[in-house]
Amino acid sequence: MTALRFLDAAPRFVFFTGKGGVGKTSIACAAAVRLADAGASVLLVSTDPASNVGQVFGVTIGNTLTPIDSVPGLSALEIDPEQAAEQYRERIVGPVRAVLPAAAVASIEEQLSGACTTEIASFNEFTDLLTDAAWTAAYDHIIFDTAPTGHTIRLLQLPGSWTDFLTEGKGDPSCLGPLSGLEKQRAIYTEAVGTLADPARTRLVLVARAQQSTLQEAERTHTELAAIGMERQYLVVNGILPDDVVGADPLTVSIHDSESRAVAERSEALKALPTDYIELKNDNMVGLPALRSLLQAGNSPTEAVHSSLGTTIAPLSALVDEIAAGGHGLIMLMGKGGVGKTTMAAAIAVALAERGLPVHLTTTDPAAHLADTLRGAVENLAVSRIDPAVEIQRYAADVMRSKGAHLDEQGRAMLKEDLRSPCTEEIAVFQAFSRVIREAKTKFVVMDTAPTGHTLLLLDATGSYDREVKRQVGSTMHVTTPMMKLQDPEQTKVLLVTLAETTPVLEAAELQEDLRRAGIKPWAWIVNNSIAAAAPTSAFLRARSANEVAEITQVTENYADRLALVPLLPVEPVGIPALRALGHSRFVRIAADA
């Protein structure tokens, strides 16, 4: 088998992290299988709100230890944020439900209904895995398939954040309900921090693609994690186009040259890390045979296949034409991290602005970098980012000016302590989100949202606000809440972005169902980076494009009222000219054969 530095003498805890869509789940699963095949007892854990480990193995896992029967010695666990939050709430509310008045119980449940509770509940399960020897003693290795980078940074920083918060003062936390019981967790959090920083017990593997954007994200992650003590890191560059498949096809030549250039130009900090390169495979990474092949050199033989979608798919420009006809509104792009939401949001915003329409392009994604994508300015286009740090500062200043003005010195000190609670971020970001929604009355607001888990937490906060406003005003006053605007297709168009691969399509379909339960119906789907739409001549890429046809058919027949297909480009679509080209693409008819 191929020697891999990131698995050499692997310690007990191994974390895989990186920008969404780089293949963390596939590599984490393949690594867990390899260790188990070598005779180790392995627990594979997903802390990603949009986990798809179960889909990769073809089994239902969930928030319980589940043996993977096809791999002796391997078990898996998916930390479901909502399930963890429900169990956390019940531990707090259950003992008092029969004792307190119904109104008091309802008040406690309302305190525990927001995203802060979800974060704390998931965090507690995470620290248990790091510190509860009785629970995990049976496993030689615990492999963590972590969430996209922004969420991972938050998760890994929490032990220190909560320890500092508890050590330096309790104040009067705005999320007192969710924080119930944290005091007794102090020793566990301290132990978790020590485990994360100990290279003999923990290894951090940064996963990237051979692309400038994901390598830059890996560098940022490397710096941020080193700052909290996780200095012993490894780098895996995934999905490298094999040298022996390049040939004379212009698309493969361009991709190969672009990847080689990105790897050669990566930062000195990344070059100093132990690095492995994993080749792109001609199969989807679903099922045990595919997982076992991922960490081995070479591909399976390319068979002669013919597959045709048999229909013509609209380009991105067709969606933009329909959107532009409305004159204004909120356009929200959602989906799994790494599917290209930032690029699609930027391309749509540029296309609308160049039609002479006023556009505000913004993001709520902690890992998004719109400026890097645009690399220029366009008339009629304003760009912003909802930065949690900025919003917290603004919110804290407003609270101190209003509530703090009527307090004495001790009261103001307690209020400042209250505002240091990690839960303040939820309130601050929600207020910024609400401000942006109001702008859509007079212009187009194109919002590049955070990866799926973050987006759902944001919408949950919006829904809580919606219920509270309706409860307070009753039927005596007409009020339009942010959630009501999201539910109105005349005011908001939700576009789901995905890739023509099994897991991203399934995740987008699950997101669609979650949105529909909240009363939000997605307006359109975008299948991004389609090899089939690029019409390659390479046998290797044609084999991969044939795999796409079934996924595109699934979307058109079962999920999407509208669908746009965006082809894979020879180079990353960065800069105004490349984004403009995406917005002016033509109708394509898919026919994949090899």
Residues marked active site are found at: 21, 23-26, 48, 503
| Beta-carbon contacts of residue 59 (< 8 Å; ≥ 6 apart) | 66, 68, 69, 76
Q: Which residues pair with 117 in a beta bridge?
A: none
- How many helices, marked H, and strands, marked E, lie in the chain? 23, 17
Question: What does the DSSP assignment read for 512-562?
Answer: HHHHHHTT----EEEEEEETGGG----HHHHHHHHHHHHHHHHHHHHT-SS
At 164, list the tokens. Answer: 């500092």
Q: How far apart are CA 342 and CA 173, in angstroms?
A: 35
At 325, list the tokens. Answer: 């006809």
Q: How far apart are CA 210 and CA 264, in angstroms?
A: 10
Contacts 24+ apart (CB under 8 A), 104-109: 108/177
Total length of the chain: 594
Q: How far apart are CA 512 and CA 4, in angstroms?
A: 38
Residue 536 φ then ψ, to 5°: -75, 160
Q: How far apart are CA 309 and CA 312, in angstroms?
A: 8
Query: What b/e readout covers 95-108, taking b as 16+ CB neighbours within 10 angstroms?
Result: eeeeeeeeeeeeeb
Q: How far apart are CA 335 and CA 324, in angstroms?
A: 22
Half-sphere exposure of 136 (CA within 13 A, CB side): 21
Helices (H), 440-534: 452-473, 482-487, 502-517
8-state DSSP, 314: B
Residue 535 φ then ψ, to 5°: 50, 60
Q: Which residues pair with 359 in a beta bridge?
A: 381, 444
3-state helix, strand, coil in the chain (%, to 5): 50, 15, 35
Q: How far apart are CA 588 and CA 230, in angstroms?
A: 47
The SS3 of residue 459 is helix
Q: Report the first-to-last Cα separation within the chain, whole angstroms.
A: 29
Q: How far apart are CA 345 and CA 401, in angstroms?
A: 36
